[in-house]
Amino acid sequence: MSNVVVVMHMSIDGVVERHNWTGPFHDEQEARFQHGRLRESRALLLGRVAFEELARAWRAGDRTDPYTALLDRIPKYVVSRTLEQAEWNSIPVDGDIVERVAQLRAEPGRDLLVLGGLDLVNHLVGHELVDEIQVIVHPLLLGAGRRVFAEVPASRWQLTGTQVFRSGVVALEFRPQRSAESAQYPGELGGVHHGESLGGAGERHVQVVQPAR
């Protein structure tokens, strides 16, 4: 079985659209984090708009960069009824999205990585098809913009990993609480240990790095 992992870049006030505001915070430390996340995945799962935005960024990127090369090779499942042409290792997903994603999730292998796409993320979370959410919080307030998870049923999630980058960006990892754990008080964040980094294989810990002054 594969895990469906959602990665969302977010401002402090929860805005997740138009990621042109993330650039000033991107550094080598965050790049290593994102490269590791991509290497742990067997395919991307994207909405059409997110796919087209990613394709434009890839075309404008440095082709010698290892991340760009990896992004080029990885299969991309695109949830769309209007995608006219399959390109850039894309595989159209239409029809019953819940059924198709459940089939992909049931296949053995590494993670299915969901990069953005508000409607797709809300749809997958609402149908309990997400195994992990990684929220990348940027230290700024945007004041206006679409916010994720505004249209999903209430559910409990457990914090399973945290990493703070020198830029002030914080990566928070959450996993859904199963029925046997649902009675646990939300403030009791079991399984989080201080002193090590989130990012490596099997590590789900906390590392605090002082932000640059």
Q: How confident is the model over 182-191, as pLDDT tens digits?
A: 444 444 433 4
Q: Is 100 exposed, middle or buried (0-12, 13-18, 19+ CB in 10 A)?
A: middle
**85 against 72, higher pLDDT:** 72
As a residue count, the chain comes to: 213
Does the pLDDT at position 211 exceed 80?
no
| Cβ atoms of 105 and 1 closer than 8 Å | yes
Domains (ranges, CATH) in the chain?
4-207 (3.40.430.10)
| Cβ atoms of 77 and 104 closer than 8 Å | yes
User: With the C-alpha atoms ordered 136, 50, 45, 154, is the resulting torsion angle positive or negative?
Assistant: positive
- Which three-class secondary structure state does DSSP give residue 103? helix
In the sheet where 205-207 sits, what is the strand order?
90-93, 76-79, 41-47, 111-115, 4-11, 132-138, 170-176, 157-164, 205-207, 193-194
Can you tell me the distance from the alpha carbon of 51 to that of 132, in angstroms, rounded to the nearest whole number? Answer: 21
The pLDDT of 52-69, averaged and rounded, is 82
* Element at 207 (helix H, strand E): strand 205-207
| Cβ atoms of 37 and 139 closer than 8 Å | no
The pLDDT value recorded for residue 198 is 55
**178 against 25, higher pLDDT:** 25
Of 61-75, 80-94, 195-209, minimum mean pLDDT range: 195-209
Q: How confident is the model over 88-100, as pLDDT tens digits?
A: 999 999 889 999 9
The pLDDT value recorded for residue 202 is 38
DSSP string, 161-172: EEEE-TTS-EEE
The pLDDT value recorded for residue 83 is 75
Distances 196 to 121, 150, 159, 187, 204 between C-alpha atoms, Å: 29, 32, 15, 21, 8
Q: How confident is the model over 116-158, as pLDDT tens digits?
A: 788 999 999 999 999 999 999 999 999 888 888 888 999 999 9
Please name every residue paired with 193 in a beta bridge, in sequence order, or none if there are none.
205
The pLDDT value recorded for residue 57 is 81
Averaged confidence pLDDT in the chain: 83
Can you tell me the distance from the alpha carbon of 137 to that of 200, in angstroms, rounded to the nearest whole number? Answer: 20
